[in-house]
Structure 1
Amino acid sequence: MTTTDREQTTLRPEECEVGSTVWDIGKDLPGVVMGHVGGDRVQLRAVAGGREWDASRLRPLTSREELSLHLAARNDATRKGL
């Protein structure tokens, strides 16, 4: 999937389920959906934790991005001895 294809596939905030991982187009970062704000935004938190932020321009993760996030989380857990 090219960058252009990724940018054309967008999600409406109400389509995002709490706990799902999406890409914030505005910040160019992945985040876990923590909740909905009004009808036009969701609150996201970084996959590794941290502060939440509001986002309205979203897209689903590509398979490669999703795999990369899971691998990074597993590597982090291994480094911490978990």
Structure 2
Amino acid sequence: MSGGGAPTYAVDGRDGRIGEVMGRVGGYVQLRPVGGGREWDCPPEELAEAAPADVLRERVRRLNRDARSRA
């Protein structure tokens, strides 16, 4: 979990989504999409560490999607 330093990212093994680890609630880990959005809960046994390249790829994908929606 993030302790005030750099964010920690994880992959939800159920569907491959990458999210920023926000905390734990009721036995689940809460993840938020890269770049913001609605959080979701993931069982801790389904989490894997996200590779930095995958996080960067997800950030670029989000920026491109946002740019297309403004055009």
Which TM-score band applies after superposition, normalised by the shorter structure? 0.5 to 0.7
Aligned equivalent of 2:39, options 28, 35, 52: 52
Q: Give structure 1 stretches of 5+ with no counterpart.
A: 1-15
Distance in 2, matches of 1:58 and 1:26, equals 9
Partner-residue secondary structure (3-state), 1:17: coil
Matched, 1:20 2:5: no
Partner-residue secondary structure (3-state), 1:64: helix
Structure 1 residue ranges, 4+ long, deviating more than 6 angstroms after superposition:
none
Structure 1 length normalisation: TM-score?
0.56
- The alignment's C-alpha RMSD in Å is 2.4
Aligned equivalent of 2:24, options 2, 21, 36: 36
Structure 2 length normalisation: TM-score?
0.62
Distance in 2, matches of 1:74 and 1:51, equals 17
Aligned equivalent of 1:61, options 39, 50, 55: 50
Shift of 1:41: 1.4
Sequence identity of aligned pairs in percent? Answer: 33
Distance in 1, matches of 2:38 and 2:59, equals 20
Partner-residue secondary structure (3-state), 2:37: coil
Q: Of the two, which has the highest radius of gyration?
A: 1
Distance in 1, matches of 2:56 and 2:33, equals 16
